[in-house]
């Protein structure tokens, strides 16, 4: 794809993060045949965490990434990190029962703590970390009591932070961070390279031959190959036919981010809050103020086709106006809010919204399906798979208890879009009756 086509396609279009990358990015295309014990396919957060885990234990592992590090979901997401999974705690309990749900809840916290240890460390200073997450509700009323870690913010106080008539109350949590995910990946990549890890970028696995004790991966038009005793698919929502052992379990779902022009002093009074913010609607928004005072606005999903950047910009402005009409009101000439960046990314969702982690055939493993909540869950699962591969823990067995979910083939995307429309309707209905 030419550079011009890439910029027009939302899935590749330049993100605000790319214009604000301060940290290390190395690119090493594969230039000779390789052998290893474990070959990881996919250099998003899941693949990189697994690689780091394995090489720290002395495993001869390498990673193959089709693009550059950070071009896919892990480097172009909202930059929120909180405990939990894409599926709600209630949903997990009804899927696997109370006991396993508790274990999975703990895994999600372990992944969150793994991230916090890095986010707050000196090596990751470039990632613009901020603590604190605010959830805002458009309907319903607060519960009677909140745990000590949460603080209820009633409507009047909330209006001093967010000038919107749509919100009825908010809940603040200290547990949660925002950061620049692209810089995070670059820092992680740097740590791995300093440990001697082999990361090959622009090195797409195009086909595989599975022999009993060895898999042969053909890379980039079959010029080079990698022989590996074990392989791991960490291909997220970006895999093609070559990822068939895992792709039947997940659907790639696109989601969208827009970044506005820097807010003026007047506009900053409307969003007078530097926490990471999300609303609790079933198909809601998440947003935050970036270090240069722009508003990052996350919204919408599609499973059938994609929106182009013009459409994302238009939809985002409409969406922002529905929550903060004053932000879009005409101010002084040249001070109108506009969208400077618009992009999309693929999330990998299984139909039950939990990941697919474990052995899919002898010596072939899956590490995919983190949906819209991968910043803690991808590291959690990667470390558990890494510990299984080195024989130091058998926690992986918990993931095997999550039932296999087929992606519904050709009708899967239609089902996903219908569900999203239904959730949006339910949101409107809840607001109307509240
Ligand atoms: C717009 C957007 C906003 C989001 N916001 C948040 C958020 O705020 N907080 C949160 O927790 N989560 C968020 N998510 C979800 C989160 O980004 C993902 O769950 C997470 O990044 C998944 O990581 P991954 O490593 O599994 O996949 P990816 O990061 O997608 O990496 C998969 C990699 O595999 C590579 N690959 C695929 N096929 C091949 C092949 N054949 N050969 C070699 N390489 C291959 C791809 O190029 C890609 O780099 C968001 C996602 C998107 C798209």
* Residue-wise pLDDT tens digits, 70-88: 999 999 999 999 999 999 9
302 shares its domain with 343: yes
216 shares its domain with 340: no
Q: Which atom in ligand 1 lies closest to the alpha carbon of residue 286?
A: 8
| 154 in any annotated domain | yes
Q: Does an H or E element contain 317, and which?
A: helix 309-323
188 shares its domain with 171: no
66 SS3 class:
coil
* C-alpha dihedral sign at 43, 44, 47, 53: positive
Q: Which atom in ligand 1 lies closest to the alpha carbon of residue 71?
A: 49
What is the model's pLDDT at position 408?
84
What is the model's pLDDT at position 312?
95
Q: Could you give phi then psi for residue 82, rounded to 5 degrees? A: -140, 160
* Ligand 1 centroid to residue 333 C-alpha, Å: 39
187 shares its domain with 326: no
* Ligand 1 centroid to residue 111 C-alpha, Å: 16
Alpha carbons 69 and 184: distance in angstroms, whole number:
11
- What DSSP string describes 109-176? HHHHHHHHHHHTSGGGGGG--EEEEEEEESSS---S---TTEEEEEHHHHHHHB--SS--EEEEEEEE
Alpha carbons 126 and 114: distance in angstroms, whole number:
18
Number of domains in the chain: 2
By most ligand atoms within 8 Å of CB, the mutation choice from 17, 39, 42, 251 for ligand 1 is 42
277 shares its domain with 136: yes
Residues with CB under 6 A from ligand 1: 41-47, 64-67, 72-74, 76-81, 204-205, 234-239, 242-243, 255, 257, 298, 345-347, 368, 370-375, 378
Alpha carbons 358 and 378: distance in angstroms, whole number:
13
160 shares its domain with 225: no
Strand-pair partners of 86:
none
List of the chain residues with pLDDT < 70? 1-8, 23-24, 330-335
**Which class for 430: exposed (0-12), middle (13-18), buried (19 or more C-beta within 10 A)?**
middle
pLDDT tens digit sequence for 368-409? 999 999 999 999 999 999 999 999 999 999 999 999 888 888
Question: What CATH code is carried by the domain that includes residue 235?
Answer: 3.50.50.60
Alpha-carbon dihedral angle through residues 315, 10, 355, 97, given to the nearest 10 degrees: 0
What is the model's pLDDT at position 7?
56
Alpha carbons 315 and 302: distance in angstroms, whole number:
13
What is the model's pLDDT at position 331?
64
What is the model's pLDDT at position 333?
59
Domain span including residue 288? 130-178+253-349+417-433
By most ligand atoms within 8 Å of CB, the mutation choice from 235, 344, 381 for ligand 1 is 235
Alpha carbons 184 and 197: distance in angstroms, whole number:
17
Q: What is the DSSP letter of 322?
A: H
383 close to 53: Cβ distance less than 8 angstroms: yes
Question: What CATH code is carried by the domain that includes residue 428?
Answer: 3.30.9.10
Alpha carbons 71 and 29: distance in angstroms, whole number:
15
What is the model's pLDDT at position 170?
97
Atom 38, ligand 1: residue with shortest CA distance: 239
Contacts of 169 (CB under 8 A, 6+ apart): 136, 137, 141, 142, 152, 153, 154, 155, 158
């Amino acid at each position: 794809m030419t550079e011009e086509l890439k910029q027009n396609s939302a899935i590749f279009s330049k993100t605000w993060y790319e214009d604000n990358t301060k940290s290390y990015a190395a690119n090493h295309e594969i230039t000779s045949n390789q052998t290893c014990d474990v070959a990881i396919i996919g250099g998003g957060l899941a693949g990189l965490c697994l690689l780091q885990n394995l090489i720290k234990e002395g495993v001869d592992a390498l990673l193959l990434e089709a693009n550059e590090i950070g071009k896919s979901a892990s480097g172009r997401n909202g930059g929120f990190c909180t405990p939990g999974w894409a599926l709600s705690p209630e949903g997990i309990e009804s899927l696997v029962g109370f006991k396993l749900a508790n274990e999975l809840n703990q895994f999600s916290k372990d992944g969150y703590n793994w991230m916090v240890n890095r986010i707050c460390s000196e090596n990751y200073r470039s990632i613009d970390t901020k603590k604190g997450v605010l959830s805002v509700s458009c309907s319903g009323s607060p519960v009677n009591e909140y745990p000590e870690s949460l603080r209820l913010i009633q409507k009047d106080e909330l209006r001093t932070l967010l000038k919107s008539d749509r919100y009825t109350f908010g809940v603040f949590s200290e547990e949660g961070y925002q950061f620049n995910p692209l810089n995070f990946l670059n820092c992680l990549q740097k740590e791995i390279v300093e440990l001697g890890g082999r990361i090959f970028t622009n090195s797409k696995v195009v086909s595989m031959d599975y022999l009993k004790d060895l898999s042969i991966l053909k890379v980039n038009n079959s010029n080079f190959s990698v022989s590996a005793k074990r392989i791991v698919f960490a291909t997220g929502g970006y895999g093609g036919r070559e990822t068939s052992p895992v792709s039947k379990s997940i659907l790639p779902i696109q989601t969208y981010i827009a970044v506005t022009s820097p807010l003026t002093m007047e506009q900053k009074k409307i969003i007078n809050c530097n926490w990471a913010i999300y609303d609790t609607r079933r198909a809601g928004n998440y947003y935050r103020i970036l270090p240069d005072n722009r508003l990052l606005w996350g919204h919408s999903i599609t499973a059938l086709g994609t929106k182009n950047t013009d459409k994302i910009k238009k939809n985002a402005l409409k969406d922002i106006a529905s929550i903060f009409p004053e932000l879009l009101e005409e101010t002084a000439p040249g001070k109108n809010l506009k969208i400077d960046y618009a992009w999309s990314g693929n999330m990998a969702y299984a139909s039950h919204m939990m990941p697919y982690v474990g052995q899919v055939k002898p010596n072939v493993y899956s590490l995919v399906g983190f949906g819209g909540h991968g910043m803690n869950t991808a590291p959690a699962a990667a470390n558990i798979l890494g510990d299984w591969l080195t024989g130091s823990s058998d926690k992986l067995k918990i993931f095997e208890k999550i039932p296999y979910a087929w992606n519904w083939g050709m009708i899967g995307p239609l089902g996903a879009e219908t569900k999203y429309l239904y959730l949006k309707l339910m949101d409107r209905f809840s607001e109307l009756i509240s």
